[in-house]
Every structure is written in structure tokens, then in C-alpha cells.
Structure 1
Amino acid sequence: MKGFLYILECSDGSYYTGSTKELELRLAQHQAGEGANHTKKRLPVKLVYYEEFSRIDEAFYREKQVQGWSRKKKEALIGNRPEDLPLLSKNHTQYPKDFMISMKDEVPEPSVSEPSVPEPSVPEPSAPEPSVPEPSVPEPVEGTTNKIQNNLKELRYEKQ
């Protein structure tokens, strides 16, 4: 049984993404206020995009995929700009500047001035640290296991 993924534009400009077996019937339901709560409160709605699938589960999978997309990425899909989709998959802070300017919506330039970078400070030469002689640790007595002496010996070995 075939299925459809569809995107509606609501009266407030928001998008609603859904899937159905019968696209025309589902659109009529949305327009009559019998659809999802999102569209019910934002009538009238307009079909702006749809895809047809051979099975409803494929349409449902695609619906869930598209629902997770940003508004700009949905607009690239609606506007038939598949070449923009990979770029819009990135976090919005990773968009190339020239790409953002080429988008339909104007992106205002940030009004934040460049932060001043302080000059790197050069560390003042410091006096050499006084050498402190290492305490001598007596060797363990042969034939006995002295945990404290063994631990001190290990510490001294790790320091070297």
C-alpha cells in the first residue's frame, strides 16, 4: 500500500510534516480542523511539498527524518534545492558565510565588535629552585617484606 510524506504551511508560516496513505483525504481533514492539533489552531493550511512511496512505512520513516530538520533545511527541500541539504545538515554555526547570504532570508551581520586581544605576557625569569637533597631510604632488610620501605622505593623509582 502506497504512502505519502507531506509538508503543510500553516497560516502563521509554520510547517507541519506528516505522512498518510491517502493524501487528498488527509488534506481535507486538516482543512476541516480534523487534523493534528498543530494545524487545527493554524488554519488554513497549504500543501507545499509531498513525496510518494510504495509503502506507508517508508513514508512514515521519511516523515520522522524530515520532522527533525531545521526550518531552513525544510525550505531547501520545498524549494527543490537538493544541493543545499548537505550544508544544512550541519549545526547553524557551521554554515559557510557565503551560503547563509545566498539563502532567501537575509541574515543580518552581527553588530558585535571584535574583542581586543591582549598582548601575550612574557613570563619573567625566575630564580632556579633550590635543590633539596632527596631523603635516603634504607634498603629493606634481606628476607623481610617491609611495605613502607617498598612503597618508598617505588616512589623514588617513579620520580626518576
Structure 2
Amino acid sequence: MSEPPPRPPFDGQAALRKVRAAEDAWNTRDPERVALAYTADSVWRNRDRFLVGREQIVDFLREKWSRELDYALRKELWTYSDNRIAVRFQYECRDRSGQWWRSYGNEMWEFAADGLMSRREASINDVPIEPAQRRIFGARGADESEEVLPLR
């Protein structure tokens, strides 16, 4: 049986477990699975989109992953406090025309007492890349557990 997810207040180890669990879930590209990490009334800002609740989160993620093909993500713990965690992330994907993109972003997370995320704010910038510039190829391997992605 797996260990229950960390609940606030977070220490460094618990915050890192939250970040890795989020990365693993997002790399499944399964909207329903990802949405289970959020409260039923979770509030999101993703770029210029504002969402409330799991149903909107699932719809958003379905639409996102229908556009962002071969999506692969890395998240890094930036900092944490009582019930908040900040991360930096990068992901790569391609669009239907075959253009590859690397997206850089920062997220601020706030958690309810039960450990589910009640608020997520994401700021993201996209940069076109050539296939030869790719550096994220699927879910994080065991040999990458401590790897920090460069800024560019």
C-alpha cells in the first residue's frame, strides 16, 4: 500500500514529495487522475485562463493535451512554507504541425488541510525549439532524481 500524500504543514521532504507526485501525475496526461489532487472547488489561474472546480480542470487538461502532443514535464521545488509550495517547471511538447515547444513556468500552490491543492497560479512562457534541442523525453527516470534543468 502506498504512503498517504503529505499534508500541511510541509517540511522540505514532504514538499519535494508533493512536487514529484504532481510531476508524475501530469506526465500521465490523464486529466481525471491529475484532477484528483485538487479540491472539488480548487481555483486556478493558468496563463490567461481562470478555472474553478475539478470539472473545469478536467476539461482544461483534456483540451491542453489534445493540442500539446508528446507532452513531458519536469518540476523543481523552489520553496515552501506551512501550506504553500512554489515550483519552477519546464515542459516540452509539439503541436499538430510538428513544431516543438519548450514552456518555462512558475507555479504557486496552496493546500487545504487534507493535502489537496485548493489554489494553483501558473505563469508560463513558450519558446519554439528544434527537435535536436529537446531535453525532456517522457517521465523522469530514476537516474534523473536530483537533476536540475538549466534555464535555457
TM-score normalised by structure 2 residue count: 0.28
Question: Which of 1 and 2 has higher RCO (CA within 8 Å, sep 6+)?
Answer: 2
Choose between structure 1 and 2: higher strand proportion. Answer: 2
Q: Which protein shows a greater Rg?
A: 1
Choose between structure 1 and 2: higher helix proportion. Answer: 1
TM-score normalised by structure 1 residue count: 0.27
